[in-house]
Amino acid sequence: MLPLAAPAAPATTTVGNPAVNISIFGAFVLVTLAITFKASRNNKSAADYYAAGRNISGTQNGLAIAGDYLSAASFLGIAGAIAIYGYDGFLYSIGFLVAWLVALLLVAELMRNTARYTMADVLAFRMRQRPVRTAAATSTLVVSLFYLLAQMAGAGALVTLLLGVTGELAQAVVVILVGALMMVYVLVGGMRGTTYVQIIKATLLIAGAGVMTVWVLGKYGFNLSALLGGAVDTSATQATPRDVLSPGAQYGATDISKLDFISLALALVFGTAGLPHVLMRFYTVPTAKDARRSVVWAIWLIGVFYLFSLVIGYGAGALVGADTILAAPGAVNAAAPLLAFELGGTILLGVIAGVAFATILAVVAGLTITASASFAHDIYASVIKKGQVNPNAEVKVARIAAIVIGAVSIGLGILALQAGLNIAFLVALAFAIAASANLPTIIYTLFWQRFTTQGALWSIYGGLITCVTLILFSPVVSGAPVNPATGKSPSLLQDVDFSWFPLNNPGLVSIPLSFFLGWLGTKLSKEQPDELKNAELEVRALTGIGAEKAVAH
């Protein structure tokens, strides 16, 4: 089943009062900007800019991780997927949540103990520095760009719905403005400012989702069964009736769609532990104990939110209806705002939309600082300058990189918005790349003493190139059947077809292949593992001793 595209007919519909929506948006932006500027006063070193001085508590970091992780895909995309497809849509929530167990058990504490600023600090520690850092930074940039693509599309869809912005040019301007705000957060606040924004945003998002959940359940006498029955009844009256309580509405029609579901599940479950912007959050805490506490807090907060998303999604399906959601600007991504308008009118819609907008800004800021830090720290400082660089110059390069990354993500976001793709689906592609290019190398580095530089390079580049290539030649980019309601294909590129890979998510192929290439590259390598570095890495991973000096030159 392909990602949804928005029917064009009622695209001029505006939900709520644009003046109220703009006012609430503006209030959120002003408050978060004020926090960012205040935080910037404490950015006196590279450690402050990259890792918030390593003095964020475990509880604060857990909230910030939840803020980083609960993106527009979690709030807008999953709610829409549940509203339209029911059971199959909720599988996104399950995958995103289960993934945290992998992160907690395998990487969280060990990554915090062994790295300084970026994922490459771990991967290159006992390898040849320059090639491994270059590979890790390349992977980080690609994953971040795919994730940014989804967030930008979500921002554009949200503002289009709430402000009545029509026309491709006007929507492009919206995405550009979001990108400009994102750059301000990163350039001024660094990791510390971004962390505080994410803490506030996570609190608001979970509280807002909680209010909507209680409100929806109240309409059905706080009886979940009655709510599910209402969703079934409403679905039966829609243009395309679906059994929203049974599996298969989205991923059960054909053998290909079933394989697509398995591929999606693999990407979601293994992707989190390889996401660079999530891994970077572990470096902001002072101790390994705080890293563990961060993940425990994050799991609880994210788990509660995804339970809320189940009620919100089925509530939108029952009270708004799939036809209305698909006919709105933003299509499937409009379910949560439309439900808020149905429940509480203009004010609740404005508040929920403001929270969603703050969600997007916080997430894109976290992604951008991760990608720019990886370029500045791993490529510029470690590869180009060979470690002989002033920390202030490194931070300056990171800020320039943030501008470039922001500009590229704006362009890609405009394409995704105009194609009408579900942003939860787009995020799943970023997860597939992270699980393919990063996770196998991280696991091998931390747990396999004989792992070599050649194995790391084969794993990273093999997983990355395979995953991106399969995406480029899949129906996501070209060749998806035209939607009769819109006359458009739900592919990024219209009127062309060069697809030959049938699955929308390539994780089923690229993740096992990356693990295999890491093993094969190591077995065929003539390089002897550095036993001293292996021993030092093991001690550091288990104890956290020397994390501040994690860069070997």
**Tens-digit pLDDT profile for residues 367-423:** 787 788 778 877 887 778 776 777 677 777 878 888 888 888 788 777 777 666 656
Contact 159, 357 (CB under 8 A): yes
**Which ranges of 375-506 does DSSP label H, i.e. alpha helix?**
391-419, 423-437, 439-447, 453-472
Task: Give percent of the chain with pLDDT exceeding 70.
Answer: 83
Within-domain flag for 12: no
Q: Does some domain include residue 18?
A: no
Exposure pattern of 405-431 as b/e (b: 16+ CB <10 Å)? bbeebbebbbbbbbbbbbbbbbbbbbb
Q: Are 402 and 186 in contact (CB under 8 A)?
A: yes
Paired tokens of 163: 């402000």
Query: Is position 465 within any domain?
Result: yes
User: Is residue 463 situated within a structural domain?
Assistant: yes
265 in Cβ contact with 95 (< 8 Å)? yes
Q: Please count the CA atoms within 13 angstroms of the CA of 116 that sit on its side-chain side.
A: 18
* Residues 153-165 pLDDT 10s: 777 777 776 666 6
Over the Cα atoms of the chain, what is R_g?
22
In a domain, 16, yes or no: no
Q: Which tokens go with 343?
A: 């429940």
Q: What is the rounded CA–CA span in Å between residue 180 and residue 189?
A: 14
330-370 pLDDT, tens digit each: 677 778 888 988 888 888 888 887 787 777 777 777 778 77
Q: Are 428 and 490 in contact (CB under 8 A)?
A: no
Among 405-414, 433-442, 485-494, which stretch is predicted with the lowest mean pLDDT?
Answer: 485-494
pLDDT value at 12 more than 50: no
pLDDT band at 65 (very low <50, low <70, confident <90, very high): confident
- What lies within 8 Å, CB to CB, of 511 at 6+ separation is 266, 267, 270, 432, 435, 436, 439, 440, 463
Provide the pLDDT for residue 461: 94
- Percent of residues, the chain, with pLDDT higher than 90: 12
| Residue 50 pLDDT exceeds 60 | no
Distance of alpha carbon 141 from alpha carbon 110, whole angstroms? 23
Question: Hey, CA dihedral for 293, 297, 298, 299, is it positive or negative?
Answer: positive
Among 185, 394, 205, which Cα is nearest to 305's? 205
Q: In the predicted model, what is the mean pLDDT of residues 440-447?
A: 88
Instruction: Give the pLDDT band (50/70/90) at residue 511.
Output: very high
Structure tokens at 505: 């998510």
State the DSSP H helix or E strand holding residue 238, giving kind and residue range, or none if neither: none
How many domains does the chain contain in total? 1
CATH number at residue 304: 1.20.1730.10
Task: In whole angstroms, give the CA distance from residue 58 to residue 39.
Answer: 19
Range of the domain at 91: 50-543
> Is 406 in contact with 179 (CB distance < 8 Å)?
yes
The verdict on residue 411 lying in a domain is yes
CA atoms of 417 and 163, how far apart (whole Å): 15
- Gap between the Cα atoms of 430 and 304, Å rounded: 23
3-class secondary structure, 57: coil
Residue 545 has a CB neighbour count (10 Å cut-off) of: 12
pTM tops 0.85, yes or no: no
- Whether residue 17 is contained in a domain is answered as no
Query: How much is the average pLDDT of 211-229?
Result: 92
Residue 548 belongs to a domain: no
Q: Which two tokens stand for residue 15?
A: 């939900």
pLDDT at 5 over 60: no
